[in-house]
Amino acid sequence: MIAFVSGPVAALAPAEAVIEVGGVGMAVQCTPTTVAGLRLGETARLATSLVVREDSLTLYGFADDDERQVFELLQSASGVGPRLAQAMLGVHSPDALRVAVSTGDEKALMAVPGIGKKGAQKLLLELKDKLGAPLGAVVGAQRAAATGPAPWTEQLAAALIGLGYASREAEEAVTAVTPQAEAAIAAGGSAPVPQLLRAALQSLNRAR
């Protein structure tokens, strides 16, 4: 198992980073939030999980060991593969997932693309005793965040800046996709950051 990779960031994409390790570029699948914390040319260390299939070897990267552990635990639930597990971490932090599971919050899981009501109910049952208890500070942090700027705007802007766009361009792209995010929130979900990032990149490409 490849537990982590460490080296200069050679390339960045919305859902992938290339880390140079011993002269070899390791392509690592990451959430937009993880990508947002990386900078081209700077040294990075990502906890990793290698998923082996008959026709592929895919390396998934995470900001820390806790996120990787949750990624692997999520896949112990029936019907959850690495892509869905990564999508869940793209929408929620590990602690937010623990809170959702411990409180039976269906809507939080339904905010993840690909998870419907029945799927959310099933996941809540299967993951109840697997993710562990949430940290006590999480709920307080979530309440505090509710009165501050929308978290998705900060995640999206950071991801765009991490991909090399200027702060002004990032702000304009966030503004462009705000109606899409507000529609998702009004429907009872949360802002889908991965989809918003793709839409933001499309708006930036059209503007150039």
Residue ranges per domain, the chain? 4-62, 66-142, 149-207
What are the structure tokens assigned to 184, written together? Answer: 């998702």
What are the structure tokens assigned to 88, written together? Answer: 């869940």
Q: Which CATH class is domain 149-207?
A: mainly alpha
Partners of 53 in the β-ladder = 56
Look at residue 150 in the predicted model and tell me its pLDDT: 54
Q: Answer whether 45's CB lies under 8 Å from 5's CB.
A: yes
Average pLDDT of span 114-126: 92
Long-range contacts of 142-151 (CB under 8 A, 24+ apart): 142/96, 142/99, 150/181, 150/191
Considering only CA atoms, which of 83, 53, 64, 56 is closest in space to residue 3? 64
Average pLDDT, the chain: 84
Taking only the tens place, the pLDDT of each residue in 68-100 is 999 999 999 999 999 999 999 988 888 889 888
Taking only the tens place, the pLDDT of each residue in 18-68 is 999 999 999 999 988 898 889 999 999 999 999 998 888 999 999 999 999
Q: pLDDT tier at 208 (50, 70, 90 boundaries)?
A: low
What CATH number belongs to 66-142? 1.10.150.20
Please provide the DSSP assignment of 84-105 as one string: HHHHHHHHS-HHHHHHHHHHT-
CATH 2.40.50.140 fits 4-62, yes or no: yes
Residues 6+ apart with CB under 8 A from 73: 127, 130, 131
